[in-house]
Amino acid sequence: MENATEKSLETLLSGLEATALAQPFLFDRICGQAPVILYGAGHTGQELALRMRADYGDRLFFTDRRRDLWGGQVRGIPVLSPAEAARRHGGDGIFVITVFNREADCAYAAIAGELRGLGAARCVPWALPAWKYADALLPRYFMGNAKDLLPFREEIRRVFAALAEERSRAIFLELLEASLTAPFDTLSAWETGPQYFIPEVLQRLPERVCMADCGAYDGDTLRAALACLGAERIEAYHAFEPDRENFARLQAFVAGLPVDVRARVTCYQAAVGEKEGFVAMTAEGTEASFVAAGVAGDIPCMTLDSVLAGRHCDFLKMDVEGYEKEALRGAKRILAERERERERERERERETILAISAYHRPDDFFAIPLCIENLRNGYGFFRKHYANLFDTVYYHFQAGI
């Protein structure tokens, strides 16, 4: 007998063709000739406004929390305060919430509730008009569109069926729905606490832990490891960070650690990928810096197979801004060897735990599990951390869930 999540999956997949055909026209069907108010005059809102301006003309407005913008213009479009926008257009306008980030006070449901409280009757996420301009605006993080998922229905079913935990299935559905229905007002509860050192990880880690941190940023995961495990439990820590500014901050943090701890941390100013060589970075000095796939550059790219050859890794974390699948394929030999090593060392059950970010690309929710399944013959589960669907992590344990 199908449960609710199984039924939801089949409903979404059976209607995939119809959804793909409808998405480019959905916003205009809802909007008609109504005023359009873009909530949020930041980067996402301005990107959308540039495409919408020619089509919506003088019925296009911005609204924003920033008082300094009220009464002025952004990209030639008038900016109203939220209260004024609701007073003028709350009854007949459509409010497009263009805020799209992981900050706790920027969740769609919270903003929509705030606007409705002011009198805005109709609120929609930015995805609806973005589907109209998909060639220019999508994909973006976990947001894509239905037509790109059409060839992968069986793969999506296969991964879903392999997820034994019901919460994992619910989050899997939310990631699928993001590209189909943008269900930002009905997302499941956020999870707080450490992002990577969740209870299921902590209870499996050995007394002395060897870790690889791909996308080490400024040392945030290392700080969490020190807080959650204690410095004495960290046997070796390999930190990879390609962005120059981030790497400098990482080095500065490591330099301030006690000498005995510092000696166990190795920092690499490098990306991790499928092949050794050099890559280009879109380097912003922030956690959003990413490798420009397929573009030559001057940033070293290493494979985990080469760096960690002959060494055990108890915990492999990846948050590499959409380069996770390439990085995993560069760990093919290590992951296969760990599988064989586990057979040889079954009595002590020393495993390699994977924690892989799964929200940077619209296909990550099924493509990353398939990549891992191909490398080590297993699936795992998802956990959502903090805001919206940002910071969703896919975990895999060799010893099972």
Domain that holds residue 323: 205-350
Domain of 256, CATH number, reads: 3.40.50.150
In a domain, 386, yes or no: no
Confidence of residue 294 (pLDDT cuts 50, 70, 90): low
Query: With 60 as the cut, is the pLDDT of residue 163 above it?
Result: yes
Q: Which residues contact 30 (CB under 8 A, 6 or more apart)?
A: 94, 122, 124, 128
Confidence of residue 341 (pLDDT cuts 50, 70, 90): low
In whole angstroms, give the CA distance from residue 9 to residue 190: 22
**Structural domain total, the chain:** 2
Is residue 229 domain-shared with residue 343, that is, in the same domain? Answer: yes
- pLDDT given for residue 351 in this prediction: 84
Confidence of residue 346 (pLDDT cuts 50, 70, 90): very low
Last residue of a domain, one of 350, 365, 383: 350
- pLDDT given for residue 283 in this prediction: 65
Is residue 212 domain-shared with residue 335, that is, in the same domain? Answer: yes
The answer to which of 200-204, 298-302, 397-401 has the lowest mean pLDDT is: 397-401
List beta partners, residue 396. Answer: 354
In a domain, 232, yes or no: yes
Select the more confidently predicted residue: 339 or 79. 79
In a domain, 3, yes or no: no
- pLDDT given for residue 344 in this prediction: 47
Domain of 103, CATH number, reads: 3.40.50.720
pLDDT in tens, 211-235: 999 999 999 999 999 999 999 999 9
Is residue 236 domain-shared with residue 105, that is, in the same domain? Answer: no
Q: Which residues contact 397 (CB under 8 A, 6 or more apart)?
A: 200, 204, 351, 353, 380
Last residue of a domain, one of 92, 121, 150: 121
In a domain, 57, yes or no: yes
Query: With 50 as the cut, is the pLDDT of residue 30 above it?
Result: yes
In a domain, 318, yes or no: yes
Confidence of residue 250 (pLDDT cuts 50, 70, 90): very high
In a domain, 22, yes or no: no
Q: What does pLDDT average to over the chain?
A: 91
pLDDT in tens, 255-287: 999 999 999 999 999 999 999 998 886 766 555
Last residue of a domain, one of 121, 155, 184: 121
Is residue 214 domain-shared with residue 343, that is, in the same domain? Answer: yes
Q: How many CA atoms lie within 13 A of 296 on its CB side?
A: 0
Q: Tell me how far apart the 2 most distant CA atoms of the chain are, in Å.
A: 71
Instruction: Spell out the SS3 assignment of 73-140.
Output: EECCEEEECHHHHHHHHCCCCEEEECCCCCCHHHCHHHHHHHHHHHCCCCEEECHHHHHHCHHHHCCE
Instruction: Spell out the SS3 assignment of the chain.
Output: CCCHHHHHHHHHHHCHHHHHHHHHHHHHHHHCCCCEEEECCCHHHHHHHHHHHHHHHHHEEEECCCHHHCCCEECCEEEECHHHHHHHHCCCCEEEECCCCCCHHHCHHHHHHHHHHHCCCCEEECHHHHHHCHHHHCCECCECCHHHHHHHHHHHHHHHHHCCCHHHHHHHHHHHHHCCCCCCCCCCCCCCCCCCCCHHHHCCCCCCEEEEEECCCCCHHHHHHHHHHCHHHEEEEEEECCCHHHHHHHHHHHHCCCHHHHCCEEEECCEECCCCEEEEEECCCCCCCEEECCCCCCEEEECHHHHCCCCCCCEEEECCCCCHHHHHHCCHHHHHHHHHHHHHCCCCCCCCEEEEECCCCCCHHHHHHHHHHHHHCCCCEEECCCCCCCCCEEEECCCCC
Provide the sign of the torsion angle of the four alpha carbons 85, 90, 91, 93, taken in this order: positive
318, 289 Cβ separation under 8 angstroms:
no
In a domain, 158, yes or no: no
- pLDDT given for residue 286 in this prediction: 58
In a domain, 335, yes or no: yes
- pLDDT given for residue 347 in this prediction: 39
Select the more confidently predicted residue: 94 or 295. 94
Phi, psi of 391 (to 5 degrees): 65, 25
